[in-house]
């Protein structure tokens, strides 16, 4: 009896510490703007691997008279998220998946990129697309994904990035 109870407690503890992914695949895409907005296409899989196509990335030390592309940060990349980053991503996906979560502001701003986030779970896809994200969505989700895009990665192979997103 004691052994059975010990096994149940042990499996309960393991089940609480290992978080299953809340998605099969995430696709995050940004478009350019009139300034120095980077153009990213990021695909994160449930096995923690990701592929990134950084089409346009500007140098941080640009002047107001000229923007300079940073070719060392552009191209195809691949990587794997560490456990902590992956758990944080799962929590963020869970948060924005709650009913009535508002990710966009009403209205339209012309000098901002179009942000597209697609979360695939089995055959279902949830699409978030906006030019005017809420502060919460920007701070908690978009900044997090941009940090992944700007992180250290290895050069990768070319992959398909021309998916058509039917968000509306």
Examine the pLDDT at 145 and tell me if it is beyond 80.
yes
Q: Hey, CA dihedral for 69, 72, 76, 79, is it positive or negative?
A: negative
87-103 tens-digit pLDDT: 999 999 999 989 899 99
The pLDDT of residue 59: 84
14-63 tens-digit pLDDT: 444 445 667 899 999 999 888 788 999 999 999 999 999 999 988 877 66
The pLDDT of residue 111: 79
CA distance 56 to 71: 8
The pLDDT of residue 141: 94
Q: Could you count the other beta carbons within 10 Å of the beta carbon of residue 22?
A: 17
The pLDDT of residue 71: 87
Cβ partners under 8 Å of residue 40, min gap 6: 28, 29, 30, 52, 53, 54, 55, 146, 149
Examine the pLDDT at 9 and tell me if it is beyond 90.
no
């Amino acid at each position: 009896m004691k052994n059975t109870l010990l096994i149940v407690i042990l499996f309960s503890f393991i089940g609480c510490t290992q978080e299953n992914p809340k998605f099969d695949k995430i696709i995050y895409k940004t478009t350019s703007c009139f300034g120095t907005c980077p153009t990213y296409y990021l695909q994160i899989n449930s096995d923690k691997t990701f592929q990134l196509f950084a089409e346009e990335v500007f140098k941080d030390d640009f002047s107001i008279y000229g923007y300079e592309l940073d070719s060392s940060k552009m191209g195809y990349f691949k990587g794997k998220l560490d456990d902590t980053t992956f758990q944080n991503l799962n929590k963020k996906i869970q948060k924005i998946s709650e009913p009535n979560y508002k990710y966009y502001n009403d209205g339209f701003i012309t000098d901002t990129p179009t942000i597209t986030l697609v979360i695939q779970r089995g055959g279902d896809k949830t699409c978030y697309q906006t030019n005017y994200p809420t502060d919460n969505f920007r701070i908690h989700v978009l900044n997090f994904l941009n940090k992944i895009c700007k992180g250290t990665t290895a050069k990768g192979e070319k992959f398909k990035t021309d998916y058509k997103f039917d968000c509306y």
